[in-house]
Structures are given as C-alpha cells and as structure tokens.
Amino acid sequence: MNQKSIAMVSNNYWTLYKFRYDVIKMLIDEGYIIHLIAKNDSYEKKFKHKNIHIHFLSLEERGKNLIKELRTFASIYMLHKKIKPSLIFNFTLKPNIYSNLSAMILNIKTISMITGLGHIFIKANSFYRNIVILLLRLSLKKSYEIWFTNKHDEEYFRKLKIVSQQKTSIVPGAGIIINNRNFKRKQNSGPYIFLMASRLLKEKGATEFLDAANFFKNDKSKQFIIVGAHTPNEDHVSKILLDKMNENNIIDYLPYTDNIESLFAKADCVVLPSYREGMSTVLLEAASLKIPIITSKVPGCVDIVLNENYGFLCNKSDTESLINQIIKFTQINNKNPQNIDMMVEKTFKHISENFNRSDIIDKYKEIARSY
C-alpha cells in the first residue's frame, strides 16, 4: 500500500514554519508524506525530515500582473498533478484560489483556511476586490471543509455569498502553547515601554503607532519600540520616516526577530492597533505571557481582548483613541496596578480555554484520519 501524502500550500515558508510546524510534525508521526509548497524565503531550510518534500513557488502576495498570476496557477496545477496528494491544506488568499481551482480539476480534496481577510477586503469596493470575490466563490465551492480563524470572517463570507452550503469550522489560527514557561513580566521600573511587533503595514496600525509615539516624544516616562520587517511599497509605512524617528529617539526601530520573547520581557504593554486580523498570534503570545494589551475593536483582536475587562481597546484607524488608551493604561498602572493584574489573568484564562494549540492540532489530526 502506498504511503498517503498531504500537501500544504502557503505564501511563504516562514508562515509554514511559524504557524504549522507542530501540525507538520504530528502528520509525519501519523505516517504521512508531507509536501510543502511556498515561495522560497530561506525558512524552507528549517524543514529537514526525510518525509518532508520542499517545492518552490513563484508567488507575489499582492501582485496583480495577469501573466505572472496565470504562471503561478499553472505551476501549482502542475505540482498537484505530479505529487497527487491525498489531501491539500491551503492557507492565505492566493493559495486558496489557485490551489483549490487546481484541486477541483484534478479531483483532490482540500481544506481551505481563511487566515484573515487582508488588505483587499479592508479597502473600499474596487474592481479587483470584486474579481477576488468571484474567484473565491468558485474556488471554495468544492472545498471539503473551510476553516475560519474567527466567527466575524465566516459571517462576512456568508454575507458576500462566497460561502453557502460548504461545511465550515472555526479554527483559531495556530493557537498558543500554554505552559509554565520561566518568563517574568517586566516590573514597573524606568519608563513604560510600549511594544508593537508586526509587519510594518499601514493596515496593521503602524501609522497610528508612530503618530502616538510622536505625540509622546517629549514624555520621558514612555518609550516606544516597533519591530518588524519592512518592504518598500505603498502598503508599508515610510522607511525614511522610521529611520528619522529612530535617529531622533522617538522610537526604537528593530528589524524582524525570531526571538520575540526577549522583546516581550522588556515590554510593559503590547500594542496592535490593527484594522482587522484573522487571529492575532502576537496578541495570543502576549496574553499567554500575561502582558497587558492595547488593541483595536476589530475582528481577530476582540476575540482575544473581549472587552475593557481584558485589556485596552481603541478605535480602528484612530490615533487619538490610541493615545487615550495609552494614557489610560499608565494612569491605572500608576494608581491601581492590581487592576492590570486582574486584566491579564482574565485574558490568560480566556486564551487558555479557547486557543490551546493542542486542540487545534487535534482538529488537523481528525481531518487527516477522516478522508
């Protein structure tokens, strides 16, 4: 009997390593051959098991060149035809479209994970957005099951009639490992340190974070750290602005790091003023370490910080609201720090009960065993 194989298709190998590594290990232990299909970004070197096969994909996450997109679709189709996997897991927008369409032609079962709505759905209606909606309706039509990271995205897909009769589940991203790590939260000594760790996209609220840092530039009781990879395009904040603010000691800007926990150890508060999330991993990590959070009242964030009893919520795309929450955090910390402790304990309990990674891995195992 031939050994069954499973393919995973994503934008890049970083996401597969960061968010699916535990799942891949479990599937190998279950006896599957794993085929990983993604854009080459050096993180493929992290996968060294003999039962993991690496395939490179030429994919531009936000590209709109028709010829290049057709080539991407053709390369995915040819890979699926060659590999003939028993099941395909698709992550992120383009893999969900191109890989699902290929699988429909080849009669291969797929699981589609909607990891977030992204910039296309955050922006106003456009011709490109409408084309994407039509493609999603077609490509998701025959998916064995569709996974959403939060209930808001599922409701939105149903409203747009992208999803109708298909089987759906809520699988909250990668979840979080809950354990008794030897981590000590920063105590109130020196300035309050506000940390934003994210891709430096405008839709992540990076502009509002920088504006808030600039507002407090003469306040020595507050320090702002922003960490994340920068890409020189219109969707990211200006690198010139970042460097200028860094040189003027308004912010500390650091490139991407794998050792995010070392930065969490320095932070009094983690900030993510995002416009929308699938399920924010950085907020889950902060909550698991009992670090206070300031975030936006948007899907993927309010699933973690449910209300003001769990953390501090600002309005989307609203610098003034973010500034007010920063002030509120420092005032409560100065006068009633035990209230902050109560918040982080409630948030920790909530994510422990609802976002445990072992439960998510069990979901993958259940699907893999059932087809």
- Per residue in 326-353, pLDDT tens? 999 999 999 998 999 999 999 999 999 9
Residue 125 pLDDT exceeds 90: no
| 127 — pLDDT class (breaks 50, 70, 90) | confident
Domain 192-354 of CATH type 3.40.50.10800: no
Distance between the two ends of the chain, CA-based, in angstroms?
A: 16
Identify which of 276, 39, 38, 27 has the alpha carbon closest to the alpha carbon of residue 149: 276
Asked whether the beta carbons of 52 and 27 are under 8 A apart, the reply is: no
Residue 231, pLDDT score: 80
Extract the tokens encoding 65: 């060149």
pLDDT > 90: percent of the chain: 71
Identify which of 86, 81, 139 has the alpha carbon closest to the alpha carbon of residue 114: 139
pLDDT in tens, 289-309: 999 999 999 999 999 999 999
Domain boundaries, the chain: 5-175+356-370, 192-354
Q: What is the mean pLDDT of the chain?
A: 90
Residue 255, pLDDT score: 85
Task: For residues 240-249, give the mean pLDDT.
Answer: 93
Domain 5-175+356-370 of CATH type 3.40.50.1000: no
| 1 — pLDDT class (breaks 50, 70, 90) | very low
Residue 188, pLDDT score: 67
Q: What sign does the CA torsion over 229, 232, 235, 239 have?
A: positive
Extract the tokens encoding 257: 């790091």
Query: pLDDT: is 254 or 324 the higher one?
Result: 324
Alpha helix stretches (DSSP H) within the chain? 13-29, 66-83, 93-106, 118-122, 127-139, 151-159, 206-215, 239-247, 260-264, 281-288, 319-335, 337-354, 357-370
Residue 123, pLDDT score: 63
